[in-house]
Amino acid sequence: MSEAAHADDILDGNTQNSGTEQAANADDNGTVSVTVGGVVFDRSKNGSGASVGAVTSSTSWSPPACWYAPKFTPQELQDYLEPIWEADSTGYQWDAEQREKYNALDEKKGFHKDKTGEGFWWGSYVNKSYPPGWDKCDTDYFWVDKGDPPPADKENAVTPEVLAELAYAEIRVPGTKVTLAPAGATKVNLPTWAWLDGAEFKPVSVTASVQEIGISATATAEPVSLQIKAGTPDAETYPASGVCEIKDGRIGEPYEKGRANDTPSCGVKYLRSSGRGTFPLQATVTWKIHWTGTDSAGGDLPDGTLGATQAVVVQEIQAVNR
């Protein structure tokens, strides 16, 4: 039986009885950092507001569903395990093996008490949403000296790169409802301009750290393009690919009076009306994500996307004054 299976080790992704419980530090702007599962997340530079959402990887990759991080000091592990053994809830044989494993009968050296302050017992933590793979971190507690890397065979033991991947899961970006001109209802064969509020679409970042061992990583997401899908094959997009690149920090171009017959840099032209219904226009922003970490570590992570669908009414009027 593995200690990682105990319910209090996975409840909400936090240890309920160690020095790494969930805690938040807030300022006048609200929560800027929160400790979850042995990792501190600084979200002060993250996206905010009612419309924000989590990005989805553009590949099959996904952030770690579980990980290993410092969990107990020697005394904390002793205080945690001994009541379990004394309750006989796990069986005499297992209890005896565990006492031997942690040298529990040695008052001075048991649980590595002779190395207090020199390292930590590491254990598993789980993403509180329990995504696929949340139960794969089932290794018993293991000791790591301060300054030493975690064992190479412990997948997802926190390193700067793993912290960057965990920070990726915390990134929130603005929603992607585009502004259209004409607003309300557009017209057949008339270019419809589309753009996003450039003030909102700026780089966002989240920093993850494990303060006990002095490592950290920041994952930064930058918007790179907006993809428009008209919701019907009877339409043309601008540009033809439907992908509007970021230019001068702007996604698309706001419509200005007098440009009704101009070709928009980002938009769509519907070739038939939507009748009594609507067309589901889909707008998806792609965010390029990279990370930097302790000791000059860094690199790229898979692009993230966030999209939204909005109903567009297309009427059979061929001309309109704007």
In the chain, beta strands by DSSP E = 23-27, 30-36, 39-42, 53-54, 56-57, 66-72, 119-126, 142-145, 172-173, 179-181, 185-187, 192-195, 204-210, 215-229, 235-238, 243-247, 250-251, 267-270, 279-293, 298-315
For residues 6-35, average pLDDT: 39
Closest by CA to 164, choosing from 44, 290, 38, is 290
- The predicted pLDDT at position 18 comes to 33
Instruction: Enter the pTM of the model.
Output: 0.84
Say which range, 4-13, 199-208, 270-279, has the weakest mean pLDDT.
4-13
User: Whole-angstrom Cα distance, residue 6 to residue 312?
Assistant: 51
Please check whether residue 125 is in contact with residue 68, taking contact to mean a CB–CB distance below 8 angstroms. Answer: yes
What's the mean per-residue pLDDT of the chain?
A: 86
pLDDT tens digits, one per residue of 293-310: 998 999 999 999 999 999
Burial of 100 per CB tally in 10 Å (0-12, 13-18, 19+): exposed
Average of pLDDT values for 200-215? 93
Question: Three-state secondary structure along 62-129?
Answer: CCCCEEEEEEECHHHHHHHHHHHHHCCCCCHHHHHHHHHHCCCCCCCCHHHHHHCCCEEEEEEEECCC
The better pLDDT of the pair 13, 144 is held by: 144
Q: What is the pLDDT of residues 143-184, one digit of tens each?
A: 999 999 999 999 999 999 999 999 999 999 999 989 999 988
Give the contacts of 48 (CB within 8 A, at least 6 positions apart).
172
pLDDT for res 32: 60
- Asked if residue 182 has a cis previous peptide bond (ω within 30° of 0), the answer is yes
SS3 readout for 130-147: CCCCCCCCCCCCEEEECC
Q: In sequence order, what are the residues at sequence separation of 6 or more whose Cβ sits closer than 8 angstroms to the Cβ of residue 41?
A: 33, 34, 35, 166, 167, 170, 206, 207, 208
